[in-house]
Chain A
Amino acid sequence: MSDAPAASAAASPASAAVASAAVEVVGVDKIFTGKKKATVTALENIDLTVAPGEFVSLIGPSGCGKSTLLRLIADLDAPTAGTVTVFGKTARQARIDQEYGIAFQQAGLLPWRTVSGNIELPLELHGVAGAARKARSAELLALVGLSDFAESYPDQLSGGMQQRVAIARSLAESPRLLLMDEPFGALDEMTRERMQTELVRITAETGAAVVFVTHSIPEAVYLSNRVVVMSPRPGRIRDILTVSLGSAAERTEQLRENEAFFENVSRVRELLHGEAPVGIRGVETR
C-alpha cells in the first residue's frame, strides 16, 4: 500500500472514480463516549455530497461538529452510524490510497526538516525517488511563493509562511481532494485575506475538491461554491447555501467590496443565527 506512486491521480482507475462524488456522507452520526459513560452527540444524521473540483466550506459555532465531520472524511475518526465515501471508496481505503491531502490549524511542520524536506515528507514516506521529490517540491514552493526559503527551517518562518508550507505539503501528491481544518485560523487578518486569494488560485490550478472548515463567514463566502451552515448540540446541517461569485479568475480582492459578496455574507449570518440579518452596509431588504 505504501508503494502507491506519487501521481496517484493518474494511476488510479479513472473510469470508476470520475463518475463518483469526491465525498459522499450518508446518514452519519458520531457519538463520543466520555468518562462515566457520558455521551456527547457530536454529529446527527449528516448527509453531504461534494462534487469533484467543488469548494465546500463547513461553518458553524464551536462545538457544532464541523471539525469532527472533517476528521470522519479523513478517517482520523470512525462514524458511529452511517457511511462516508471518498471517490467511491471507504474513507479508510481512500486514506490508504492517499486520495486526499490535509492541512490543520497549526502548520504542523517537522522542526528538524527544512521547508523542502517538509514538503517532500509524504513523497519520501511513499517511496518516491529523490530527484522526483526535489522537482515536485520546487514546483510547489513556486506555487506558494516560497522558492527562496527551500533550505530554511520552520522556526525561521513567520506563521503565514509556515501555513503556506503546510498547504504545499498537502498538495504534494496531487490529491483530488483537500481537507482543511481552519488553516488560516491562527493568522492575522491581512495575512489571512492574502492566503485566501492564494488558495482560490491554487485550487483553480490544481482542480482539487476542497472541504474547508472555518468559523469566519466572509472567508467561507469568499472561498466557496457552497457553504454548509451547521448548528451545535447535536451537530446538524442547518442549511446549505450556494454561493455564485464567479470563477477563480473573477474572485479578486475587489470581490470583498462587492454587493453580491455582502449579500451572501448576510445570508450566511442569518442562517447561522437563525434570525433576520443585522443589516450592514444597506443590504437590500428581502
Chain B
Amino acid sequence: MTAAPGSSTRARPPRPKDAPRGNAAVKRVAFGVGGVLLLVALWELYKAVGPAEGVVVGDLTILPRTTDLAMPHVWDMITRLFGETGSGRNAVPVWSAVLEASAFTLGVAAVGWVVGVVVGMLLAVLMQRFRTAESAVLPWIILSQTVPLIAIAPLVRRWGSQLEFGDFTWENWMSVAVIASYLAFFPVSIGALRGLNSPDAIHVELFRSYGVGWWKTLFKLRLPASVPYLLPALRLAAANAVIGTVVAEVSIGLRGGIGRMIIEYAQQASGDPAKTWAPIFGAIAVGLVAAGFIALLGVLLRRYRRGEVPA
C-alpha cells in the first residue's frame, strides 16, 4: 500500500475469510447431535413415567399412550432396521428395503424438483418482465397452493394416461413427479420474483446507462442478484418436492417408494410396531439428502452471496 500514489484510505488487506470458523462448525454439529439425543431422551422419559393409557381429560386424549404398541423404544426401532422384512423367501433386511425405497422416492422427488424449479423460474422471469403478467399470474400461483393434493392426484393420473405420442407412454411415477413439481414451483416463483426485483435502482440505471437490453441485464445483474433469495426458495422447494412425492405415491398408489411403504408397514403395526418407524426414518433421510444438496449448491454459489458494505 505504500506504492499507491494517493493511498487516501486505510488500505486494509483482504481479510482472511473462514479462519475462525472451525470452532463454530464443531459447535454446530454438537448442537445438532445434542438436539437429536434430547428428543430421544424425552421420548424414553415420557415412555418411562407416562401412564400406559395416556393422559385423558374427559374424552380427550392430550398425551399419547405409552404402551410398546403406541410408543416403541428407540432402540427397538433401530434394531428392527436390521431385522428381516418378513419370514418368506424374499425377505431382505429392513434397512436395505427402506434404502431402496428411499432412493426411488428421492429420484422421483428430484425430477419433480427440477421441473418445479424450471417452471418457477420461467414464471418469475415472465412476471419480472411484464407487470401485467405479474398481476395476472401471481394470484393464480397463490391460489394453486390452496388446492389439496389428494384432489389433483387422480386428475393428473387420468390426464397423463390420455397422453400418447409414439412410443411414449405416461407412467405413474411421472404423475407423482408432476405433483411434486406442483408443490415445488411455488416457493421458487415467489422467491425468484423477489430476487429478480432485488437489484438497487442504481444498478439498474447503471445497466441502462450501458445501453444494454433486458436479456443482458437479466443474466448479468438480475439473476446473480437473486441468488440470496433463490437459495431459501430452492430449499423450501426441495422439502416440498419430497413431501409431495411421498403423499402422491400414496394417493396415486405408486409402488416402490417410501410413501407406499409407510402404508404397508403401518398395516402391520399391531404385530410389529417398531417396523412402522423404518420408512419414516427413510423419509427423513431423503429430506436430509435433499437439504444437503441445496447446501452444496449454496457453497458453489457463495460468490453471489457477498454483501456490499455500504460506502
Q: Known contacts being A2-B211, A106-B202, is A112 close to B306, with CB within 8 Å? A: yes
Task: Check: B208 CB closer than 8 A to any chain A CB.
Answer: yes
B6 engages A154 (CB within 8 Å): no
List B1-32 residues whose CB lies under 8 Å from chain A.
1, 3-12, 14-15
A155 engages B306 (CB within 8 Å): yes
Question: How many pairs of A and B residues are in contact by the CB < 8 Å rule?
Answer: 113
- Interface residue count for A (Cβ, 8 Å)? 50
Q: Known contacts being A145-B7, A194-B6, A195-B8, is A98 close to B308, with CB within 8 Å? A: no
Chain B CB within 10 Å — which of A74, A98, A111, A149 has the most?
Answer: A111
A98 engages B210 (CB within 8 Å): yes
A198 engages B6 (CB within 8 Å): yes
Q: Known contacts being A100-B209, A125-B216, is A154 close to B202, with CB within 8 Å? A: no
In the complex, what residue of chain A is closest to B211 when comparing beta carbons?
A96
Interface size classification for chain B: 35 or more
A155 engages B309 (CB within 8 Å): yes
Write out the residue numbers on chain B whose beta carbons fall within 8 Å of the beta carbon of A124.
220
Give Cα distance in the complex from A102 to B306, angstroms.
24
Task: Check: A218 CB closer than 8 A to any chain B CB.
Answer: no
Write out the residue numbers on chain B whose beta carbons fall within 8 Å of the beta carbon of A121.
210, 220
Cross-chain contact of A108 among B203, B211, B224 (Cβ < 8 A): B203
List A185-220 residues whose CB lies under 8 Å from chain B.
186-187, 190-191, 194-195, 197-198
Q: Known contacts being A155-B309, A156-B15, A162-B311, is A146 close to B4, with CB within 8 Å? A: yes
Looking at the assembled complex, report how far the CB atom of A188 sits from the nearest CB atom of chain B, in whole angstroms. 9
A155 engages B311 (CB within 8 Å): no
Give Cα distance in the complex from A106 to B303, angstroms.
21
Give Cα distance in the complex from A155 to B305, angstroms.
11
Write out the residue numbers on chain B whose beta carbons fall within 8 Å of the beta carbon of A145.
4-7
B12 engages A158 (CB within 8 Å): yes
B4 engages A110 (CB within 8 Å): no
Give Cα distance in the complex from A111 to B304, angstroms.
7
Looking at the assembled complex, report how far the CB atom of B250 sits from the nearest CB atom of chain A, in whole angstroms. 43
Write the A28-58 contact mask toward B (1 if CB under 8 angstroms, else 0).
0000000000000000000000000000000
Give Cα distance in the complex from A47 to B96, angstroms.
82
B209 engages A76 (CB within 8 Å): yes
Give Cα distance in the complex from A113 to B224, angstroms.
10
A111 engages B306 (CB within 8 Å): yes
Q: Known contacts being A107-B311, A194-B8, is A125 close to B210, with CB within 8 Å? A: yes
A198 engages B4 (CB within 8 Å): no
Interface residues of B (CB under 8 A from A): 1, 3-12, 14-15, 200, 202-203, 205-213, 216, 220-221, 224, 227, 303-311
Given contacts A110-B203, A145-B4, A162-B311, 15 further A-B contacts (CB under 8 A): A76-B205, A96-B211, A102-B209, A108-B203, A111-B306, A112-B224, A112-B304, A112-B305, A125-B216, A147-B3, A148-B3, A162-B309, A163-B311, A194-B8, A198-B8
